[in-house]
A and B are shown apart, each in its own frame.
Chain A
Amino acid sequence: MKDVKSGKELIFETAVYSKEAVELAAYVFSGSCGVKVLPGKSATRVLLDGAADPESLAGKLANEALNQQCRIDLAKKNSRIAGIIVTKALLSACGEKTQAKNKGK
């Protein structure tokens, strides 16, 4: 994290935090202050501006980026079972008869 004039800059290395995770986190905090996302080759920079407590907000945004990244990590492993549940729930709610298709492995 770096202090910049009237704000804070966070540098999220792409090897650790995907651009997607950082963008999602930035969106969550976009209502709290000025947030600018600057994607780069090896890192995504986030500029925070106008926050009452920039240090604290930066920390929360970093936590949110980690939260989003963990969610992305999980999706890589759990997407099949997660998808089955959501599909079944939505189709049943609409009254569609569902039959689980077990794609051969």
Chain B
Amino acid sequence: MLVKKPVRNKKKLSSPAPQALWAKMDGGRLLTNESGCHAWVSEKDFARVISGRIAEGDPLFAELSAAGFVRGRMDLDGLAAKWRTRNEHLSYGPGLHIMVLTLRCNHKCLYCQSSAAGEGAKKTDMSLKTALKSVDFAFTSPNPAITIEFQGGEPLLNWGTLTAAVKYARKKAAASKKELKLALVSNFTLMTEEKARFLLENEVSICTSLDGPADLHNRNRIYAAGNSHAGAVKWIKYFQKKHGNQVPEYRIFKSSALLTVSRYSLSRHKEIIDEYVALGLEDIFIRPLAPIGYAKGLWEKIGYTSQEFTAFYGKCLDYILELNRRGIVIREKMASMMLEKILNFREPGYLDARCPCGAAIGQIAYNYNGDLYTCDEGRMVGWEGDDIFRIGNVFKSTLKGALSSPAARACVVSSNLEAQPDCSRCAYKPYCGVCPVFNYEAQGSLWGNMRSNDRCRLFKGVFGVIFSKLRRAGDKEIMEKWTVKNEGR
């Protein structure tokens, strides 16, 4: 394919305005462009930039031309390379394969989006045959690296199938030369030494939920048979210790924890972060709640507005930065992922915030019965009786067939920011993404309406916080170290 020489705009222009998106911020303007570069300018300078009046010798010239905001001085190779690395997901097939081993769960979390069933509902266990077929299906992805993540309900309730799937997947990986990562998301209350040993020996990375100190965690995550927080903490400590004592036979990955923010969390940011720090967890992912699954029905009780979440997020980030200044290692995961895009022009694998979103093309959810969905949230909508996000079945579909399904294609098209009226004009477009499942659940269509979309407001709020922190040299220096390039892992 011939690459055309730089295109000369044939239109007669009164001024060579650079390609830019902008947002008013802190009395000036944040500029961004297609490649993901950004710059801050005053209102006065904005007028000069946008009318192409930044010439060599101007104090802003060096910074703005390096970032592609001076039209006559663009490094097209460099800018294209940045676009490429930030959008490398466009070149790969589904990398994340979520296997829902069972819908049974021994918890009744208030915000449960997996629409878990009671422990007795064994008919919602994934059979061995379905699990192995799902692994086969995952390996048909053209992505050279895949992650199989075992979820539920509580996946430890279907232990036999889990162990078989792990062993089978490892065998397939060895034969296929694909890079395989295995992950488990569990509440840990059913963990035993024997199970832990199996998981460690088979290099399964472990993740649990930790919503903060005991009373808060247990209020969100109801466990009738005991203390959910105690169970989570016990095994976090166990796996942390194991990680600290590596063995030659296999790699032990750091265990991680996920925070889900409910209304009860909003006034307790310091306690939540302190809980993570006390357990030696170096990452905290401040995840907002979405009105999907059980959470939708209880939204009045446990939900909040985007403004409330943004305020909470701002306080969390302030406190985390303060801890960093004291020498404590703690990173905010959402910020880390966004910074990967903003500072390093790289795709961090955050399927919720990319264009198009990860639905089907980045991830596939395998329900207990072998039904395939665009994502786990899409599967939850299916459980509520609406199969709009179903893309096939492991026994009846091929990968190509699943990705060609109306649901898959509709999600890709509707999450393309270039086709969204608001997103295509937004300064945060290079770093953001929309969720067709959220749009459908909250607004009745896959496209949604961003002007009244709470998820959009929430992301704008988070970006606003992150970018305003980046304006402060001290905070920027700390946050730069959170990105993959600078992690000493």
Residues in chain A within 8 A of chain B (CB atoms): 24, 27-29, 31-32, 63-64, 67-68, 70-71, 73-75, 78, 81-82, 85-86, 88-90, 92-95, 99-102, 104-105
Judge if B90 is at the interface, Cβ distance under 8 Å.
Answer: yes
Q: Are B444 and A78 in contact, with the CB atoms below 8 A?
A: no
Question: In the bound complex, do residue A64 and residue B449 qualify as a contact, i.e. CB atoms below 8 Å apart?
Answer: yes
Most chain-A CB neighbours within 10 Å: which of B7, B90, B447?
Answer: B90
Q: How far is the CA of A23 from the CA of B392 in the complex (A)?
A: 29
How far apart are the CA atoms of A29 and B356 in the complex, in Å?
A: 25
A94-B399 in contact (CB<8A) = yes
Distance, CA A86 to CA B141, complexed state (A): 18
Residues of chain A within 8 A of B452, CB atoms compared: 63
Min CB–CB distance B78 → chain A (angstroms): 19
In the bound complex, CA of A45 to CA of B453 (Å): 27
Contact call B449/A63, Cβ cutoff below 8 A? yes
Report how far A38 CA is from B361 CA in the complex, Å: 38
Which residue of chain B lies nearest to A68 when distances are taken between CB atoms in the complex?
B447
- Name the residue of chain B whose CB is nearest to the CB of A82: B418
Closest approach, in angstroms, between the C-beta of B205 and any C-beta of chain A? 24
| A78 x B424 contact (CB < 8 A) | yes
Closest to B10 in A: A105
- Whether the pair A90, B409 counts as a contact (CB closer than 8 A) is yes
**Given A71-B419, A78-B419, A86–B400 Cβ distance below 8 Å?**
no
Q: Say whether B409 contacts A70, CB under 8 Å.
A: no
How many interface residues does B have (CB within 8 Å)?
39
Residues in B with CB closer than 8 Å to A73 are 421
Given contacts A94-B93, A95-B93, contact A89 B399 (CB under 8 A): no
| Structural contact, A86 and B403, CB atoms closer than 8 A | no
Closest Cβ of chain B to A76, distance in Å, is 11
Q: Which chain A positions have C-beta within 8 A of B200?
A: none
Q: Which residue of A lies closest to B3 (CB)?
A: A102
Q: Does B2 sit at the interface, judged by CB under 8 A?
A: yes
**A101 lies within 8 A of B403 (CB):** no
Known: A81-B418, A92-B142. 10 other contacts (CB 8 A): A67-B421, A73-B421, A85-B355, A85-B356, A90-B403, A92-B92, A92-B93, A93-B92, A93-B93, A95-B399
Closest 9 CB pairs of A and B: A95-B142, A70-B421, A93-B361, A82-B418, A93-B93, A67-B449, A82-B419, A28-B444, A28-B445
For A31, give the chain B residue with the smallest CB separation: B444
Residues of A close to B445: CB separation below 8 A? 24, 27-28
Task: Flag if A74 contacts B356 (CB, 8 Å).
Answer: no
Interchain CA distance A60-B445 in the complex, whole Å: 13
Main DSSP-derived SS at the A contact region: helix
- Chain B residues closer than 8 Å to A94, beta-carbon distance: 93, 142, 399-400, 403-404
A74 to B91, CA, bound (A): 25
Asked if B447 contacts A89 (CB within 8 A), the reply is no
Is the CB of B11 closer than 8 A to any CB of chain A?
no
In the bound complex, do residue B142 and residue A93 qualify as a contact, i.e. CB atoms below 8 Å apart?
yes
CA distance A101 to B4 in the complex (A): 10
Tell me the nearest residue of chain B to A74, going by C-beta: B421
Complex contact B356–A86 (CB within 8 A): yes
A103 to chain B, nearest CB (A): 10
A85 close to B416 (CB less than 8 A): yes
**List of B residues within 8 angstroms of A90 by Cβ:** 361, 403-404, 408-409, 412
B413 CB within 8 Å of chain A: yes
Contact B421 A85 (CB under 8 A): no
Distance (Å) between the CB of A19 and the closest chain B CB?
18
A86 touches B416 (CB 8 A): yes
Residues 414-452 of B contacting A (Cβ, < 8 Å): 416, 418-421, 424, 443-445, 447, 449, 451-452
The reply to whether A93 and B418 form a contact with Cβ atoms under 8 Å apart is: no
Name the residue of chain A whose CB is nearest to the CB of B7. A105
Cross-interface CB contact of A88 among B90, B403, B418, cutoff 8 Å: B90
CB distance from A91 to the nearest CB of B (A): 9
B444 touches A89 (CB 8 A): no
A81 to B419, CA, bound (A): 9
- Identify which of A64, A70, A78, A94 gathers the most chain B CB atoms within 10 Å of its CB: A94
CB distance from B225 to the nearest CB of A (A): 40
A32 CB → nearest B CB, Å:
8
B360 within 8 A of A: yes
Q: Check A92/B91 contact, CB under 8 A, given A81-B418, A102-B4.
A: yes
Is B293 in the interface zone, CB < 8 Å from A? no
Which residues does chain B contribute within 8 Å of A71, judged by CB atoms?
419-421, 447
**Which of A28, A32, A105 has the most chain B CB atoms inside 10 A of its CB?**
A28
Q: Are B400 and A63 in contact (CB under 8 A)?
A: no
A92 to B90: give the CA distance in the assembly, Å: 7
Give B385 Cβ to nearest chain A Cβ, in Å: 13
B1 touches A100 (CB 8 A): yes
Answer whether A89 and B361 are a contact pair too, CB < 8 Å, given A28-B444, A63-B451: yes
| Interface residue? B94 (CB, 8 A) | yes
Most chain A CB neighbours (cut-off 10 Å) among B93, B362, B409, B418: B418
